[in-house]
Structure 1
Amino acid sequence: MKIKLLFLFAAVLLTTSCKQEHSTTKIEGKRLDINDSLETNPDIEAYIKPYRERVNRDLDSTLAYAAETYTKNDGEYNTAIGNFMADAVLELSNPIFNSRTGNNINIVLLNHGGIRSIISKGNITSRTAYEVMPFDNVVVVTPLKGQQTKDLLSFLASRRRAHPISGLKLSLNPDFSINEALINNTEIDYDKTYYVATSDYLYNGGDSMSFLRSEDGTHYDLEYKIRNLLIDYFKKIDTLQPTIDDRFIQLKDN
């Protein structure tokens, strides 16, 4: 009888406790630093060693040669490294876009902040591309209509920064108003739709470039990572020697 009462009491207690509300009042944790003091597991190290060596061998194989050291700070409104990246996107993306749509890319617009490393003078490897573009951003092409084209030009003029462009030529007056804007060396027709290649990050509004997204959301994902595109471009060339040019400049007072 006592055993039955004991089980009955336990059941009532369990039922009552299940109905009680609980809330977390404090969470404690401990920081574990990951550094060289952590001991490695020899078995794991031995297992991954051949894979690590193969990856490093692939990353460090020479693809091309850089004639100089190029940085994103070597020009005021356009830079050699930015020009190379935008031109490479245009050259390698346009055949893909044209084969799918029958249209051509008119402009390439990337962002200055997306260039994450210099390209040092000397051998260029796949690792170089990973350092310059460590993100998995892909090339997206979006149609740009009249007002969007105006917004793009206003954005570049107001930001006064060397965002990489290709296919577009823009000159600013000393007061930063637009002096001239050409697409494919032709006066812009604001009744025409232009196709802009950019990254999915920028298409989705990154770096305040919300003007790139069309009202109906029309865009073309080329499924081509910009990093992979750079690697393919390096494989095509022997020597990288881009220059600063007049694609985006500011006129000076006489």
Structure 2
Amino acid sequence: MSCQQHPPTLFKIESKQIPITNRIKAVDSIDQFVKPYRNRIDEVLDSTLAYATATFSSKDGPLNTSAGNFMADIVISEAGPIFKKRTNNEIDFAILNRGGIRAEVSKGNVTARNMYQVMPFENTIVVVQLSAKSVRELIAFLIQAHQPHPMSGIQIKLDSKGSLYSVNIKGKPFDEDRSYFIATSNYLANGGDNMNFFKNNIGITETDYLLRNAMIDYISKMDTIIPLVDDRFVQAK
């Protein structure tokens, strides 16, 4: 009996916080080992992708903004072909969240580092199929929130009192008798930012495409990018 082995039991865990400050001196051997990798990363991140004619902001419009419009348009442009190839369907519209835009893109040269600042999260683009009823809930959410959540492919018009006047999707009136394919982030598709209507979906298609990478890929193909605030979500005066 004395030789019997018992499974180990956790008795106690101890920890302490070690603040990372400039008081910690760099170790030369480690610094020299990392240096070529760091230089290469800096070279890639700081290379110019395109030129912005003005600042892209998430605050330059009451219900749609230049930064939000730009991001949502990119989602359809870059993820659309992937979704089409995998499902033979097309994205109807895109919805993101305003809170996901974490920085402005200033006038001048735009770099990959800027895109990491705008979108620091590892969110991927997914396409959610929703019934007309769930799309109605989505529209009601946007109207109630009354915020410039990024959107593309859908146009919402409110009357002067803030009530719904019209909804068009891909240039056609909203159809109560069909389902729609909505591109968004995997975070929102799981009900993030109180977008619970996405939970009542018919199906979800993962594109395996990081939203940030889609932005970098799109801008890399451009020479110049121009901020735009338009009428995709507006209220009559």
Please indicate, yes or no, whether the TM-score normalized by the shorter chain is above 0.5.
Answer: yes
Which string of whole-angstrom CA distances, capped at 9 and with x for unpartnered residues, describes residues 49-97 of structure 1? 0000000000001110011112101111000111111011111111111
Paired residue for 1:105?
91
Between structures 1 and 2, the one with greater helix share: 1
The DSSP-based 3-state class of the residue aligned with 2:139 is: helix
The DSSP-based 3-state class of the residue aligned with 2:209 is: strand
Runs of 5+ unmatched residues, structure 1: 1-10
| 1:233 and 2:221 are equivalent in the alignment | no
Paired residue for 2:204?
219
Which string of whole-angstrom CA distances, capped at 9 and with x for unpartnered residues, describes residues 194-223 of structure 1? 10000000000001111113355x210000
Q: How does 1:66-77 map to 2 (within 5 A)?
A: 66-77=52-63
Query: In terms of Rg, which structure is larger?
Result: 1
CA RMSD, aligned part only? 1.9
Instruction: Give the structure-1-normalised TM-score.
Output: 0.87
The DSSP-based 3-state class of the residue aligned with 1:219 is: strand
Match of 1:79 among 65, 71, 80: 65
Paired residue for 1:249?
234
For residues 183 and 143 of structure 1, the distance between their equivalents in structure 2, rounded to whole angstroms, comes to: 14
For residues 224 and 188 of structure 2, the distance between their equivalents in structure 1, rounded to whole angstroms, comes to: 30
Runs of 5+ unmatched residues, structure 2: none
| 1:172 and 2:172 are equivalent in the alignment | no
Q: Which runs of 4+ in 1 moved over 2 A?
A: 21-24, 27-32, 213-216
Contact 1:80/1:244, CA 8 A, preserved across alignment: yes
For residues 139 and 162 of structure 2, the distance between their equivalents in structure 1, rounded to whole angstroms, comes to: 11
Which string of whole-angstrom CA distances, capped at 9 and with x for unpartnered residues, describes residues 176-199 of structure 1? 211111101111111111100000
For residues 222 and 73 of structure 1, the distance between their equivalents in structure 2, rounded to whole angstroms, comes to: 29
Contact 1:70/1:81, CA 8 A, preserved across alignment: yes
Equivalent pairs, count:
234
For residues 232 and 245 of structure 1, the distance between their equivalents in structure 2, rounded to whole angstroms, comes to: 24
Amino acid at match of 1:72: S
Structure 1's 23 and 47: CA in aligned 2 closer, same or farther, altered over 3 A?
A: closer
Instruction: Give the structure-2-normalised TM-score.
Output: 0.93
Match of 1:154 among 127, 130, 140: 140
Structure 1's 30 and 142: CA in aligned 2 closer, same or farther, altered over 3 A?
A: closer
Contact 1:205/1:212, CA 8 A, preserved across alignment: yes
Structure 1's 38 and 143: CA in aligned 2 closer, same or farther, altered over 3 A?
A: same
Q: More relative contact order in 1 or in 2 (CA 8 Å, sep 6+)?
A: 2
